Chains A and B, each alone.
Chain A
Amino acid sequence: MKLTFAELYRRHRDTVFQLSLAIQNYDGKTYTPPPLSDKAIAEKIGLTAEEVREIRCLAEADALPASVWAEADVFKNERAKKFRRAEKI
């Protein structure tokens, strides 16, 4: 039986996200494990590349709560102030 997209998303979201570029590990010479393209993820988990692309794009937008965007300014303003103090501008 063919799964609906919502079911596919629930089932594969975390795996697709982990295998994509969302979290990148570098060993000093190369990225290991290498982040995978949609096609490579699809081959690994038995979906089509189009299904993986749709899951990944949705997961990227769905990764964090909506509040993080406005909160980002607080972090940047704090850091910028610290730099100003350090440089005595």
Chain B
Amino acid sequence: MSAEERIKNYAVECGALAAGIASVEDINRYAPEGHRPDDILPGAKSVVVTGGPPTTAGAWRSPNPRITTLTRVYPMIRGTVVMKLAALIEREYGYYAVFYDGQAESGHNPFLSLKLCAEMAGLGTRALAGGVILNRDHGLLNFSCVVTSMPLKPDGPMEEPVCPHHSCIKIWEAKHTTPCLEACPTCLSGFLEGGRIKWMQFRRYLCEPRAQTTSTTAFRQKLLEIVNETDLEKRKQMVYGEFFSRIVRSLAFSSELVGGCIECLRHCPVCIKATTLRPIPRGGKP
């Protein structure tokens, strides 16, 4: 078994659904200076990217969107998966390795774009839904990675795009919309031409309140409102009220911080296929 196969198989053994390898050279063609793998690890040659499900197929169907956020699957373990992968690379192959699971460098800017790394590792392609990476088999994935000085054979980006799905092309031809665009006109605009994305705009700042409803920005904005409130009774109600309490709980237990909205992808055919289960008949008498 090659080192590449061993590393990717180990990622799956540790809990990832899929893994791929990107070359630093490919990533650096797009990543700005200061946000490249070699800014994290000088001499970096490869990035091993792991992907897993944002939540269970069951939680994807919950009528309560908060359940979907509270039961995040891969985000809970993705750091551990790449921590173990980094240890494997350092101990068994003798190359430096740094793991990264998307922590912010400042504000909303990451140290390194995991979406770009995943794209360059062939784990999927950009979607009309805000440029997330869609995987043909697994739909929406969450990512984490290991940046390493180990030279590995890269998988490289996929040649055929996953998005738009053929049924979205048909919808576009008939109605000039797609399930994702229809779901969230606030944040998304786009245009298909010749069965491909011609252009797409993602207004990330408008997505944040929905995707990170009880996260750090919400906390800071609410805090400012509270300290500016001069009516003491009202201030007390703001602090003890349900919404601010939920924000504080979310920060205290890291429970509803990010990934709080999947509405643009609920009707995405790629995601629906990936999250639709068929019960496996059990043997024996019913």
Cβ of B61 within 8 Å of any chain A Cβ, yes or no, is yes
Nearest-Cβ distance from residue B237 to partner chain A, whole angstroms: 14
**Residue pair A60, B107 in contact (C-beta under 8 Å):** yes
Cβ of B35 within 8 Å of any chain A Cβ, yes or no, is yes
Task: Give the distance in Å from the alpha carbon of A63 to the alpha carbon of B35 in the complex.
Answer: 24
Centre residue among A38, A77, A79 by max chain B CB count within 10 A: A79
Cβ of B109 within 8 Å of any chain A Cβ, yes or no, is yes
**Residue pair A34, B32 in contact (C-beta under 8 Å):** yes
**Residue pair A23, B210 in contact (C-beta under 8 Å):** no
Nearest-Cβ distance from residue A42 to partner chain B, whole angstroms: 11
Task: Give the distance in Å from the alpha carbon of A38 to the alpha carbon of B110 in the complex.
Answer: 12
Nearest-Cβ distance from residue B86 to partner chain A, whole angstroms: 25
Cβ of B201 within 8 Å of any chain A Cβ, yes or no, is yes
Q: Which residue of B lies closest to A39 (CB)?
A: B34
**Residue pair A73, B213 in contact (C-beta under 8 Å):** yes
Cβ of B283 within 8 Å of any chain A Cβ, yes or no, is no
Centre residue among B64, B106, B224, B243 by max chain A CB count within 10 A: B106
**Residue pair A23, B201 in contact (C-beta under 8 Å):** yes
Task: Give the distance in Å from the alpha carbon of A68 to the alpha carbon of B225 in the complex.
Answer: 13
- Classify chain B's interface size: 35 or more
Cβ of B17 within 8 Å of any chain A Cβ, yes or no, is no
Task: Give the distance in Å from the alpha carbon of A31 to the alpha carbon of B33 in the complex.
Answer: 16
**Residue pair A26, B34 in contact (C-beta under 8 Å):** no
Chain A residues, Cβ within 8 Å of B170 = none
Q: Which of B7-15, B88-96, B146-154, B261-269 contacts A (4 or more CB under 8 A)?
A: B261-269
State whether A38 and B126 are in contact (beta carbons under 8 Å apart), knowing that A63-B205, A87-B61 are contacts in the complex.
no
Chain B residues, Cβ within 8 Å of A81 = 63
Cβ of A47 within 8 Å of any chain B Cβ, yes or no, is no
Cβ of B204 within 8 Å of any chain A Cβ, yes or no, is yes
**Residue pair B30, A57 in contact (C-beta under 8 Å):** no
Cβ of B230 within 8 Å of any chain A Cβ, yes or no, is no
Nearest-Cβ distance from residue A27 to partner chain B, whole angstroms: 5
Cβ of B156 within 8 Å of any chain A Cβ, yes or no, is no
Nearest-Cβ distance from residue B59 to partner chain A, whole angstroms: 11
Q: State which of B199, B205, B263 has its C-beta within 8 Å of the C-beta of A27.
A: B199
- Residues of B59-89 at the interface with A, using a CB-CB cut-off of 8 Å, are 61-66
Nearest-Cβ distance from residue A38 to partner chain B, whole angstroms: 7
Chain B residues, Cβ within 8 Å of A63 = 205
**Residue pair B106, A57 in contact (C-beta under 8 Å):** yes
**Residue pair A24, B213 in contact (C-beta under 8 Å):** no
Task: Give the distance in Å from the alpha carbon of A74 to the alpha carbon of B225 in the complex.
Answer: 21
Cβ of A7 within 8 Å of any chain B Cβ, yes or no, is no
Centre residue among A26, A60, A73 by max chain B CB count within 10 A: A26
**Residue pair A69, B221 in contact (C-beta under 8 Å):** yes
State whether A21 and B108 are in contact (beta carbons under 8 Å apart), knowing that A26-B197, A34-B32, A66-B222 are contacts in the complex.
yes
Smallest CB-CB A-B distances: 6 pairs: A57-B107, A76-B65, A79-B263, A37-B32, A68-B209, A69-B218
Report A's interface with B, CB cutoff 8 A.
Answer: 17, 20-28, 30-31, 34, 36-40, 53, 56-57, 60-61, 63-64, 66, 68-73, 75-77, 79-81, 83-84, 86-87, 89
**7 new A-B pairs (CB below 8 Å) besides A26-B200, A31-B131, A72-B209?**
A28-B197, A56-B107, A56-B109, A60-B208, A72-B261, A76-B65, A77-B65
